[in-house]
Amino acid sequence: MYVGVYLIFVISILQCNGKELFTNDKPLHPLLKDNIYIGAHQFIRNLENSLQDIENHKSLKNALSFLKADDYQKQAENTLKSIKNKNLNNTCLLDLKNIGLSASKRQKWAIEVFDSWAKLPPGILQGHIIVKGSFPQCKGVNVPRTNLTNFDVNYFTIGFAKKSKSSLPFLAPVIGICLPDTCTNIEVFNYVNFLLPFNSSYHVGSVTKAEIPPLDNGAKATIAIFAILGFLVLIATIYDFFGAYFQSKKTEDTEHLIAEDTTSINDFPEINNTNSNFRVYFSQNKLGIVQDSILSFSLIKNLRSLLVSDAQSDVACLHGIRFISLSWVVLGHTFLFVLSAIGNPIFLLTLFKRWSFQPIANATPSVDTFFMMSGTLVAYLTLKELKKGGVNWFYYYFHRFWRLTPMYMLLLAAMTTLSRYWATGPLYPNNVGLAPKCYSMWWQNLLYLNNIAFGKWESSAMQCFGWAWYLANDMQFYILSPIFIYPLYRKPKLGIAINIFVLTSSIIVSAVISGHFKFPMSMISMGGSTEYMRQLYIPPWTRIGAYIVGILTGYILYKYDLKVKINRFVALLGWCTATAVALAIFYGPIEENRGFKQPLIASILYNSLNRPAWALCVSWVLVCCVSGYGGIVNSILSWKGWTVPSRLTYAAYLSHPIIMTTYAVALKSNLIVDDSALVAFFLAFMTATLLFSVIISATLESPFRQVEKVFLKHIKMYKEHRKMFNE
């Protein structure tokens, strides 16, 4: 019966005399003012009143008596009597009773069961309402086999949800208890809901039994795919190593065959027309295609291409911008993903009020930096190809899809089918893994529609691979980009007008949506609102502005051949303006983060302009650095040391939430954090992400890119030699 009592005890704390401690009609952080910290004596008085309410509730009176009695056998009998008709099977009830009987006899194993249960913790006013108990102790209990105790015990996680919509769902209570494994999730679900006060603002949202299911067909298929890839990598690496060792002096290093995107015609092997003909050459070259394709999976070659810096790039500052933006993304996500792993989440809300914390609290423009850079590179490179004579539009789209999809789908498959097996812990979703929605929604990710075809999902976290909304937007923008780029080449004035029209339309749409839904300017005060994510944050029509700014930037770089002439006074004025705008974006929501609601018109202006404005700031930095007006900023961003981590950006973006989520939900106990602990979290996550990115980039990304290069190379060789043979 202690199960029910403890649950009621936790809920009562969140409902002092029927009044919720954490209300839904306001952001939580204003409640951290003096009216919350009214003193320990007031809290105790409220708690006593709540317990009195429970005691007066007839159906729960026996439950409360457990707090006053030591007779486990008597309480087990009371449990059996009070809930015998509440959808629990006889086996579960009898095993519960027998644990109580054994505990009344002071048997160690039964006491260990009760001792492993979550208990009322200190720091509830700091948000310590995710109480895990002792997961290892529960899993380590050895129940002696007798006629009465022919069962094992298992750990159950019980998550609560508000009956009404909550602006801060991460503050819903979660507790862990140790029960007979003969009990099922639905039985515990019904039992706990029955024990809750009838006027409770919470209900049981989920019950998870910590058990690892057998491998299903999806898991087996994923393992088989990774086994094949692993075998290819192993064979290719061995072949590359010994081939290079024995033939280094006899043949040219085959790395040159697949290391470059383009190769001069002069590099093609010549045909001795007297001794060879086209058929002989083509027949011999089949083996070369197979050999080069296998070598594409060589770990030696792929690590070398990743970790060895090449020559100085004309746009070297992009490496620094890319890696710093990735670090910003990881830093922002660190605070989001550790919420379930810490025992004082309210501390994070106090951070949002700090002046120094605003660039982290408002970290979402980091994604717009990537949109802007993507648009810039696509426009600049496409315009150069058009100038050379044209673009192979089939390859234009195929290359992008092939570049992004293999590693993306492999990681999605692994997270969907295998994540339930690679860790365990109090909050670990052993029954469905880390990506439950992917079983039914993976096709949206494959088609890059997951940002608009998500249906009625509850939150961004409920999407399949939730952070991949960015990839869907980027792919959709890329597909549409010829509409914006080709007119810039043929009729620049028309092209500029089209791009400005799309940019203006996106700003207007964002303003209308923000005004209609009355969205504040701060995501913090929204508390991860579903409507905000669905209507304003994720859709392509509200995010394309930064991409259009990038396309116009790429056009400028193309038109002036990376040498834009800027008056020194204009350059100084531009730097001052860009800095002021960036600071306004960082610190615009600070008063709202501190709990002071801002006028709706201010929120509309901020929500509609901040993203394209940030893209303009980054565009200015890029143009100045490329054109020689960057000064020390360009020296920092163009540092050669950024080159290698910059290559890992895509792999790091895909993988860092997997690392963070796995750590957070598998943690056996909550951590009490402060500033230094959060810095350590970030550094640890960043380091782990980069190391893991090296592995997956060398094994899941680079091989497919190299295979593409091999086939392109041999297609060019085929065409050239066919031409020579025909002549």
- Specify the range with the lowest mean pLDDT, choosing from 45-59, 325-339, 406-420: 45-59
Rg of the chain taking only CA atoms, in angstroms: 30
Query: If you write DSSP's letter for every residue of 158-203 in order, what string do you get?
Result: EEEEESS--S-GGGS-EEEEEEETTS-HHHHHHHHHHHS-TT-SEE
Judge whether 54 and 197 are in contact, CB under 8 Å: yes
- Specify the range with the lowest mean pLDDT, choosing from 164-178, 413-427, 493-507: 164-178
Which residues, in sequence order, are bridge partners of residue 453?
none
pLDDT for the residue 400: 96
What phi, psi does 204 have (nearest 5°)? -70, 120
What does the angle CA 499 – CA 502 – CA 503 come to, to the nearest 5 degrees? 85
Query: If you write DSSP's letter for every residue of 244-268 in order, what string do you get?
Result: HHHHTTTS--THHHHS-S---GGGS
Q: Which pLDDT band holds residue 49 (cuts at 50, 70, 90)?
A: very low
Secondary structure of residue 157 in the 3-state scheme: strand
The distance in angstroms from the start CA to the end CA of the chain is 92
Among candidate residues 470, 289, 406, 370, the one with its CA nearest the CA of residue 702 = 406
* 2-40 tens-digit pLDDT: 444 444 444 443 444 333 333 334 333 333 333 323 333
Mean per-residue pLDDT of the chain: 80
The domain segmentation of the chain, as residue ranges, is 2-209, 217-307+712-726, 367-637
Among candidate residues 507, 509, 508, 536, the one with its CA nearest the CA of residue 520 = 536
Residue 525 has pLDDT above 60, yes or no: yes
Q: Which pLDDT band holds residue 164 (cuts at 50, 70, 90)?
A: low
- Two tokens at 220? 């087996």
State the Cα–Cα distance between residues 289 and 274, nearest whole angstrom. 24
pLDDT for the residue 213: 83
Residue 598 has pLDDT above 60, yes or no: yes
Among candidate residues 432, 330, 425, the one with its CA nearest the CA of residue 665 = 425
Judge whether 204 and 193 are in contact, CB under 8 Å: yes
Per-residue pLDDT, averaged over 123-127, amounts to 79
Residue 541 has pLDDT above 50, yes or no: yes
Helices H / strands E in the chain, number of each = 31, 4
Give CA separation, 665 vs 340, 348, 652, in Å.
Answer: 7, 18, 20
Q: Which pLDDT band holds residue 276 (cuts at 50, 70, 90)?
A: very low
Within 10 angstroms of residue 468's Cβ, the number of other Cβ atoms is 22
* 362-401 tens-digit pLDDT: 999 999 999 999 999 999 999 999 999 889 999 999 999 9
pLDDT for the residue 670: 86
Residue 198 has pLDDT above 70, yes or no: no
Query: If you write DSSP's letter for every residue of 560-614 in order, what string do you get?
Result: TTT-----HHHHHHHHHHHHHHHHHHHHTTHHHHTT-PPPHHHHHHHHHHHHHHH
* 234-256 tens-digit pLDDT: 999 999 888 765 555 444 444 44
pTM for the full predicted model: 0.82
pLDDT for the residue 284: 59
* 73-122 tens-digit pLDDT: 454 455 445 544 444 557 887 888 888 888 888 899 999 998 898 888 88
Residue type, 80: L
Q: Which pLDDT band holds residue 704 (cuts at 50, 70, 90)?
A: very high
- Two tokens at 236? 């290719």
pLDDT for the residue 436: 80
pLDDT for the residue 119: 82
pLDDT for the residue 199: 56
Highest mean pLDDT among 334-348, 375-389, 460-474: 375-389
User: For residue 727, what are the contacts with CB-CB under 8 A and spacing of at least 6?
Assistant: none
pLDDT for the residue 379: 97
Query: If you write DSSP's letter for every residue of 664-721 in order, what string do you get?
Result: HHH-SS-B---HHHHHHHHHHHHHHHHHHHHHHIIIIIHHHHHHHHHHHHHHHHHHHH
State the Cα–Cα distance between residues 427 and 341, nearest whole angstrom. 9
pLDDT for the residue 52: 43
Q: At what angle do helices 317-337 and 649-666 cross, to 10 degrees?
A: 10
What phi, psi does 177 have (nearest 5°)? -135, 160
* 643-690 tens-digit pLDDT: 999 999 999 999 999 999 999 888 888 888 889 999 999 999 999 999
* 102-114 tens-digit pLDDT: 888 889 999 999 8
Per-residue pLDDT, averaged over 260-268, amounts to 37
Among candidate residues 90, 83, 144, 89, the one with its CA nearest the CA of residue 113 = 144
pLDDT for the residue 452: 87
Per-residue pLDDT, averaged over 685-697, amounts to 97
The rounded percent of the chain whose pLDDT value lies above 90 is: 49
Judge whether 125 and 346 are in contact, CB under 8 Å: yes
Residue appearing with tokens 């089209």 = 498
- Two tokens at 411? 């990681």
What phi, psi does 355 have (nearest 5°)? -65, -40
* 607-650 tens-digit pLDDT: 999 999 999 999 999 999 999 999 999 999 999 999 999 999 99
pLDDT for the residue 428: 85
User: For residue 545, what are the contacts with CB-CB under 8 A and spacing of at least 6?
Assistant: 503, 506, 507, 510, 611, 612, 615
State the Cα–Cα distance between residues 571 and 392, nearest whole angstrom. 38
pLDDT for the residue 552: 98
